[in-house]
Structure 1
Amino acid sequence: MSATQSTPVRAGASAVPYGHVIGSEKWRGTQLAHFLQGKVKLVFEDGLGLVDFHMSNRACVLYISESDLVSGNAFKRRLVRFRKASNLKGVVIAERTRISDQYFPPVQNFVVLELGMALLPVTSQSEAAQLIFHLVQERSREGGSNPFISKKRCHLSEASILQTVQRIPGVGRVKALQLLQYFPSIQQLSNASLRDLEAVVGRGIANNIHLFFTET
């Protein structure tokens, strides 16, 4: 039985010093590891289970590559197992490239709407390394609090949520920003009553929002 089967998430890996990242051994020698080294203290370990990178204060990254997106839904099972097996703060990074772009919208719905996790798209492993470095810096500046639920949210997480809300028919950027002022998370927006939604954006768009979440 493989490590990912026997140990979905290795509990001890969450105790990571600030400025450090523990990476799964499978990433050793990759471009992503190369770009990360020198920016953070990167240490490789076996047996991280479903997680690709652990950061400080129980935060971790699950990486979806271009080939993962194109080849099928195996990555979805991994994310679901992570959510069920762990109380770690998971961030999903996905390679949204010219090849995988058509597969990205349903993945965005699945990760953000169904699992309630932050989804951050990148175009390359180099960009992913910059993103992971940014997340490490955010956590250090905020003293270890969760940047995705703190009062001063991580701008990258906000961008991911904003993109998702803009996919609702009739909701452009202005309406999306307006909605997120009243319903700051996808969960709150999806659970909002028609009456509450109408008070913010009117009946027509409120109906669109309701249909979007009930039919997704």
Structure 2
Amino acid sequence: MEDQRTAALNAVPPCGHVLSSEKWRNSSLVQSLRGVNVLFESELGVADFHLPNRSCALYVSECDIVAGNSYKRKLVRYRNAGSSFQELVVVENTRLSQQYFSAVQKFVVLELGLTVLPVSGQTEAAQLIAQIVHSSSRENPFRRTVSPRILDPLVLAVVQKVPGVGGVKALALLQKFSSLQQLSNATSSELEPVVGRAAAQHIHSFFNRSTGQ
């Protein structure tokens, strides 16, 4: 379980994708994303989103700010998580939260050393995230270190259809096995270090049954 959590915390989505905390599944933010494939994961830790340019984002809402200082503790945990990602903080700067925004900005930038991205609400936040994703796709720094075949969204979709495999496990598998053929030929013992024993058995059975072996 700890290995799976570690994999989730360090997972980088492929170009054109966003890795989202499960709590955002039915949000207007996710529904407003255009041209972006969203993968949901329940083990992202404090971060709300992982982006393909190796950045992550924490969303601070109007309600968080107006309710008091509890959001500051969350921001400190976010900063202290030891992430290898560039840590972004998306903050709602609305009519209600505007009077607090300057203090929030000073705390995030001056005290925590993080980057603030102000938005008017979830719709604008979705536009911002989509812009980052599309920019990453054009620059595609991932191609320098990872085979483009790994990032094929069709292959990713196939792997996610395996019972017990979600977005993060699919990404981890495709980082380890460079093609669908290699993955389907992998033994349970080869799969286990990547996804754990139970998922390894599900994956091995799935491909053996599919190929009639």
TM-score (normalizing by structure 1):
0.59
**Which of 130, 136, 147 pairs up with 1:139?**
136
Structure-2 separation of matches of 1:93 and 1:19:
20
C-alpha distance 125-72 of structure 1, shift in aligned 2 (>3 A): same
**Which of 8, 11, 22 pairs up with 2:9?**
11
**Which of 45, 48, 52 pairs up with 2:44?**
48
Structure-1 separation of matches of 2:136 and 2:109:
21
Query: Runs of 5+ in structure 2 lacking a partner?
Result: 143-213
Structure-2 separation of matches of 1:111 and 1:9:
27
Q: Is the 8 A contact 1:25 1:46 kept in 2?
A: yes
Structure-2 separation of matches of 1:56 and 1:48:
15
**Number of residues paired by the alignment?**
138
Structure-1 separation of matches of 2:36 and 2:53:
16
3-state SS, counterpart of residue 17 of structure 1: coil
Percent identical pairs in the alignment equals: 51
Match for 1:114: what amino acid? E
1:10: Cα distance to partner? 4.0
Q: Is the 8 A contact 2:10 2:84 kept in 1?
A: no
Partner of residue 94, structure 1: 91
Q: Is the 8 A contact 1:9 1:48 kept in 2?
A: no
By relative contact order (CA 8 Å, sep 6+), the higher-ranking structure is 2
Q: CA offsets per residue over residues 55-89 of structure 1, 9 Å max, x none?
A: 11421111001100101122211221122222321
Match for 1:103: what amino acid? Y
Q: What's the Cα RMSD here?
A: 2.2
Structure-2 separation of matches of 1:71 and 1:51:
20
Match for 1:113: what amino acid? L
Query: Runs of 5+ in structure 1 lacking a partner?
Result: 1-6, 146-216
Structure-1 separation of matches of 2:7 and 2:93:
25
C-alpha distance 8-82 of structure 1, shift in aligned 2 (>3 A): farther
1:42: Cα distance to partner? 0.7
3-state SS, counterpart of residue 134 of structure 1: helix
**Which of 40, 46, 64 pairs up with 1:68?**
64
**Which of 3, 20, 25 pairs up with 1:23?**
20
Q: Is the 8 A contact 1:31 1:125 kept in 2?
A: yes
Partner of residue 208, structure 2: none
Partner of residue 105, structure 2: 108
